[in-house]
Amino acid sequence: MKRIIRKVGDCTLAPRRDYFVKLCQSIYSQQLSTKVASILFGRFRDQFPRRRPTPATVVNFLQSAEERIRAVGLSRQKRLYLHNLASHFCSDAALSRRFAKMDDEAIIRSLIHIKGIGRWTVEMFLIFCLNRPDVWPVDDFGVRKAIQIAYSYKELPTKKQMTQLGEKWRPWRTIASWYLWRSLK
């Protein structure tokens, strides 16, 4: 890890306040390359004032003409996921204000039941939006691949190996994850 830290430089993680937007972006990114997801999500954001979708404006947008929805690359499945997410945030507007007082598992429980939001998505949200210090995404391919390379494993590490290895970085496993991702670039 020391070699990776020297190579990558200072950690640049910074908290974000655009929770709903980042969760929308996570849905957009599912099963797409980073480049394609970025282009399509940009088109989606262009549909909203100041490029800032809100739960209410997303619900309205999803009732638009079919060609307008297709132009931003939304499949039926992702449209359903975005609608579920927006409806959830509309019905519980105070949820995002409670995140600061919730522990990681409570946040996972509060979001994971939304169709289209899985544990990995919430872990990425905890890391990149809330900057929680001790998130260890054992199922993340990038972190697993980086460990395989950095520690000369013949195969991707198993979940058990990931869990054991992550213990030595507790309570800063988020930072370890970030450096491992950056080592792949």
Structure tokens at 6: 């020297």
Q: Do residues 85 and 24 make contact, with C-beta atoms less than 8 angstroms apart? A: yes
Cα-Cα-Cα-Cα dihedral sign, residues 155, 34, 117, 166: positive
Q: Please say whether the beta carbons of 100 and 131 come within 8 A.
A: no
Catalytic residue list contains 140: yes
Token pair 């099963």 in the structure block, residue: 31
Say how many residues make up the chain.
185
Query: Hey, what amino acid is at 148?
Result: Q
* φ/ψ (deg, to 5) at 141: -60, -45
Is the distance from CB of 16 to CB of 22 less than 8 angstroms?
yes
How many whole angstroms from its chain centre is CA 148?
22
Please identify which residue in the block is written with the tokens 């910074």.
14
Q: Catalytic residue among 10, 46, 134, 140, which? A: 140
Residue pair 140/157 in contact by the 8 Å Cβ criterion: no
Q: What are the residue numbers of the active site?
A: 140
